Amino acid sequence: MNEILEGSARPTDKVGRVLYKLSAGLTLFGSFVIASMAAIVTFNVTWRAASLGSVTGIIDLIELLTNTAVFAFLPYCQLMRENVIVDFILTKAPTRAKTMCDAFGSLIFIVIGCLLTWRLILGGFDMYKYNESFTTIGFPRWISFPYAAFCLSLLVTVCIYTFGRSIAETRANKFFDDSLNGPGPEIHGEH
């Protein structure tokens, strides 16, 4: 599993290493959540096939676990340059153009992340205020909101970091990661 987390864009500076450890830890947690979700679904399908019933509230549970996993992966994907990147447009572009596009993408992601975090926090307060819960399992919906807000806050922090990194790379006219500076057409975001 360690090889998976040893990506080519792993930061080497102090702030980047801290963000990497937090993001990688969340990613491992998200992987555990997905494995748990697969086990729950397998158990549910097996029991239903054997006419022994099913897990109560399976759809609500899978919704909650899916959201948990997705929020866990976002900061790591951004930090490792693996979020949505349209490489085929910039394949032949100079490094400076690529790093400027990365910076612009990070800036857009900062704005979107801040808006989502703000609305998520307000939505969580509303869910708590009106005591909203999943109908079949009776689990309060607001409990998952602080975790999601933490993940989005980390995502915004990572986006600010990647924005700064892309600006510095633009000034230096090179990617700080040597594998992205390799020979041939430079396609970042792919391994």
Three-state SS string over 120-172 comes to: HHHHHHHHHHCCCECCCCCCEHHHHHHHHHHHHHHHHHHHHHHHHHHHHHHHH
* Residue 181 banded pLDDT, cuts 50, 70, 90: low
Q: Are 68 and 144 in contact (CB under 8 A)?
A: yes
Q: Residue 129 domain-assigned?
A: yes
Q: Are 69 and 37 in contact (CB under 8 A)?
A: yes
Q: Residue 6 domain-assigned?
A: no
Non-local (6+) Cβ contacts of 22 within 8 A are 75, 154
Q: Are 78 and 159 in contact (CB under 8 A)?
A: yes
- Res 82 pLDDT > 50: yes
Instruction: State the amino acid at position 142 in one-letter form.
Output: W
- Res 158 pLDDT > 70: yes
pTM score of the predicted model: 0.82
Q: Give the domain extent around 170.
A: 12-181
Q: Residue 1 domain-assigned?
A: no
Q: Residue 7 domain-assigned?
A: no
Q: Residue 146 domain-assigned?
A: yes
Higher pLDDT, 182 or 111: 111
Q: How many domains does one find in the chain?
A: 1
